Amino acid sequence: MIDSSFKSLGSSFLHDLSMKSWQRGIVNFFSESIPFSFSSGNEYADLVVKMIQLFSDHLNQSINIVEFGSGNGVFAKKCIQKLNDSSVSFHYLVTENIPSLVADFDSIPIISHSNHVESKLVDIHNVQLDQPFHVGILTYLLDTFPVKTLELREGQLFEWMVSVSVKDDAILQFMCDGDLVTWKKADIDVFLSNPIDDNMLPVLSRIHDCLDIVWESQPCSALVLDSTGILDAWLQKQSKTDQGFFNFSSAWWEMLDSLQTQMADNFMLLCYDFSSINVSQSKDYLDSFGRFGICYFYSIPFFLLQEYCDRHNLQFISSQFPDSENQIGVITYLKSMTFKRDVTALLDTTEPGQDVYGYTLKIQEANSLDLCLEFVREAKQSLTLDQQSDYVFLFSIASKLYEFGCYDQVIHYTDFILFDYGGFSLNAILLKSKALRKTGFIKDALSLVDMGLKHASSYDLLYLEKAFIAQELNQMDVVKESLTLYFDTVMVNPQWQLLDLLKSL
């Protein structure tokens, strides 16, 4: 049985499963529908490069940049391209703690072939670097740290604890040695109580539906939770009427303390996170975290980062994007007020990705081809080229055009994505393959899907697409092999009805 006692969110089973899910590397972004386009897009890269340029102008020396939790490496690619076009002299280290993601960085030429760029396996909780660095980039990484979910109510702190157990009627199905296996509560309990084998990672996408999750609050003490006294110092400044929900993690302080020992005398950390800028922003414990599939993200209280910086004689500058769940924070040893003013001015814009997202929504909702094309025209007139290169924007246009049967145009738009994101654009590969099949280029579809599988050999939907392609080519041995691999790797929404077809082959 899994331990279903009430625990802090970051010590709970939900956090463990979320972290485990990242071991699947690139496919995790697609299987769990984790948004990555705005955080890896040209618009954010442009903003970061402008901030690095300001910082470098103050330092007047070559800048060592380290990006932590670089994910698919696409942000690094764009940031390096833009830095190359700037006057900043730099060295860039691209890092991740998932070995398969670090190996994938090699397929991005600007990372693998530039003298001033390297990649490395780095765990943000245990950073050991050969050189001190000046700029650290942490995009949607702080919000993966294990947290305690707290509530401030009438001057008193409460912790919301979570109990996780397997539902009585839970069922989990998967293929093992060619047979469909059905697990009930007792089997799932045994499975989850033991270390999870790599070959069982695909089923994680379906585990969340099997869980019963119950929350309860308990009074707690700021000084017990945070021995540094930072949380308590912040608490003492709150009035009796201040209330709301927020997270706390001592791992933030440990990481920041540890990074400072490895940073150069002058440094800047850039954090882009799911975050809150005041305690009243989250009205419910459920607002203090977000979930994509099995991956949890915890809101970062920027007001506590401010408290840490005050205590450590650091400057903290934050965006104030209105009505946004995301903010950008800058932590720096630079005390210059000019630097603060210039960075604040850069952050005083709309959130990166927001304008293009508005058009993306309109295009997704367009109910006729004419309307879709009109929105695309409008978007092209009002968005910058950086904004127009956004993955989800281009993918939404391509998907809509597929719905309306404009397959040549689907190929045109997915080619933009493929040019930019290459083998990492797994759903663009699928969509282009479908359009190629519709236009009769079946063998091209096969080569494209095989290229995708070289990057992501555990992405179930590529095998499914390959089975459809092989069926059109009448290569039934390939259909059989592809369906077998599909069922071995299937994550979300398994197409069990295809088992009959597989058995008949």
Ligand X SMILES: C[S@@+](CC[C@H](N)C(=O)[O-])C[C@H]1O[C@@H](n2cnc3c(N)ncnc32)[C@H](O)[C@@H]1O
Q: Using CB under 6 A as the criterion, which residues of the chain lie in contact with ligand X when the complex forms?
A: 22, 34, 36, 39-40, 68-71, 75, 96-98, 123-125, 139-141, 144
Q: Which residue is nearest to ligand X (CB)?
A: 71
Select 254 or 472, whichever has its Cβ closest to ligand X.
254
Sign of CA dihedral 18, 19, 25, 26: positive
CB of 67 to ligand X, least distance (A): 7
Select 274 or 308, whichever has its Cβ closest to ligand X.
274
Select 75 or 90, whichever has its Cβ closest to ligand X.
75
Q: Long-range contact list for 324-328, CB < 8 A, 24+ apart?
A: 324/351, 324/354, 325/274, 325/275, 325/290, 325/299, 326/272, 326/273, 326/274, 326/275, 326/351, 327/272, 327/273, 327/275, 327/277, 327/302, 328/47, 328/270, 328/271, 328/272
Tell me how far CA of residue 207 lies from CA of 171, 173, 190, 295, in angstroms.
Answer: 9, 10, 13, 11
DSSP H helices in 280-329: 302-311
Select 161 or 295, whichever has its Cβ closest to ligand X.
295
Helix (H, G, I), strand (E, B) or coil at 48: helix
For 100, other C-beta atoms within 10 Å of its C-beta total 16
CB of 319 to ligand X, least distance (A): 16
CB of 95 to ligand X, least distance (A): 7
Select 120 or 340, whichever has its Cβ closest to ligand X.
120
- Are 345 and 283 in contact, with CB atoms under 8 Å apart? no
CB of 144 to ligand X, least distance (A): 5
Q: Cα separation of 168 and 184, whole Å?
A: 8
Burial 427-449 (b: 16+ CB within 10 A, else e): bbbbbbbbbbbeeebbebbbebb
CB of 276 to ligand X, least distance (A): 18
CB of 135 to ligand X, least distance (A): 15
CB of 480 to ligand X, least distance (A): 34
Select 18 or 489, whichever has its Cβ closest to ligand X.
18
Select 44 or 303, whichever has its Cβ closest to ligand X.
44
Q: Cα separation of 218 and 62, whole Å?
A: 50
Helix (H) or strand (E) holding 328: strand 326-332
Q: 354-365 and 391-403 helices cross at what angle (nearest 10)?
A: 10
CB of 102 to ligand X, least distance (A): 10
Q: Cα separation of 359 and 370, whole Å?
A: 15
The residue with tokens 């397959």 is 407
Select 257 or 403, whichever has its Cβ closest to ligand X.
257
Q: Cα separation of 44 and 39, whole Å?
A: 6
CB of 72 to ligand X, least distance (A): 6
Burial 128-139 (b: 16+ CB within 10 A, else e): eeeeebbbbbbb
Q: Cα separation of 203 and 359, whole Å?
A: 35
CB of 41 to ligand X, least distance (A): 9
CB of 282 to ligand X, least distance (A): 19
Select 99 or 219, whichever has its Cβ closest to ligand X.
99
Helix (H) or strand (E) holding 182: strand 179-183
CB of 389 to ligand X, least distance (A): 15
Tell me how far CA of residue 405 lies from CA of 149, 466, 471, in angstroms.
Answer: 48, 21, 21
Backbone angles phi, psi at 176, to 5 degrees: -140, 120
Helix (H, G, I), strand (E, B) or coil at 9: helix
Select 29 or 303, whichever has its Cβ closest to ligand X.
29
Q: Cα separation of 101 and 53, whole Å?
A: 28
